[in-house]
Amino acid sequence: MPRRSDLQECPSAIHRLGRPMSRHSNRLVIVTGTSSGIGDAVARRKIDEGWSVIGIARRPSPLAALSIVMSRSISQPPSALAGALERALGSAIRDPALVRIGLVNDAADPALLGPLERADPIATQRAYAINTLAPIVLAGLVLRGAPRTAAVRIVNVSSGAAVAAFTGLGTYGGTKAALRMAGMAMAPR
């Protein structure tokens, strides 16, 4: 297990959030965006409720204990991102003792504000990787890997920009609309 100081050099380092994951917990929740805001609050709440929590963020989480820092992995090709997430999370998701698994996709990169004609292609690609691709890959990983007997719930935290056009939010709104549609397509499962 890497030390806290290894986080910057090891972007896929795993650290525990709150209490260590124990064999006594049969509930697992994966929360993205745990370095601040809603993701941080959800992770703290689930820890208090006794869930095993895995946090995923681009920056180290102040909660420190089970977080995957994806700063460099997010800009890799989709197959590399999927592989990194599978290696980091696969065994935890497939644990046959789990009776409930949750995924809360809260990560978002709202940095691309402004007119589309000034959008940087590399920054746009990164925004789609963070806001759309990574959450869809995570949802697929959870749906494929969860024990058949486990109840699974996936929540995609969205934005008004996913359903209404706002000047200057073309890229951000596009990423959130794509995730919203993917979530709606998964809902019947």
pLDDT in tens, 151-188: 999 999 888 888 888 888 888 888 889 899 998 888 77
Backbone angles phi, psi at 69, to 5 degrees: -95, 115
Q: Is the pLDDT of residue 16 over 60?
A: no
pTM: 0.80
The single-letter code of the amino acid at 84 is A
Degrees (nearest 5) of the Cα angle 116, 122, 124? 40
Report whether 62 contacts 40 (CB < 8 A).
Answer: yes
Helix (H, G, I), strand (E, B) or coil at 149: coil
Report whether 123 contacts 112 (CB < 8 A).
Answer: yes
Helix segments in 31-130, DSSP class H: 37-48, 78-93, 121-128
| The token pair that represents 17 in the structure block | 């959030």
Specify the pLDDT at position 162: 83
The more confident residue out of 60 and 121 is 121
Q: Is the pLDDT of residue 126 over 80?
A: yes
Look up the domain containing 119 and give its range.
4-186
The more confident residue out of 114 and 26 is 26
Report whether 97 contacts 149 (CB < 8 A).
Answer: no
| The token pair that represents 15 in the structure block | 């650290």
What percentage of the chain has pLDDT greater than the value 90? 28
Report whether 139 contacts 92 (CB < 8 A).
Answer: no
Mean pLDDT of 32-52: 89
Domain CATH code at residue 58: 3.40.50.720
93-116 per-residue burial string, b: 16 or more CB within 10 A, e: under 16:
bebeebeebbbbbbbbbeebeeee
Specify the pLDDT at position 46: 92
Domain count, the chain: 1
Q: How far apart are CA 184 and CA 105, in angstroms?
A: 14
Looking at the chain, how many residues does it have?
189
Specify the pLDDT at position 125: 86
Q: How far apart are CA 166 and CA 135, in angstroms?
A: 23
pLDDT in tens, 62-105: 664 445 555 555 566 777 878 888 888 899 999 999 999 999 99
Report whether 33 contacts 62 (CB < 8 A).
Answer: no
Give the CA distances from residue 125 to residues 32, 98, 129, 177, in Å, rounded to whole numbers and listed in that order.
Answer: 19, 35, 6, 15
Q: Is the pLDDT of residue 14 over 50?
A: no
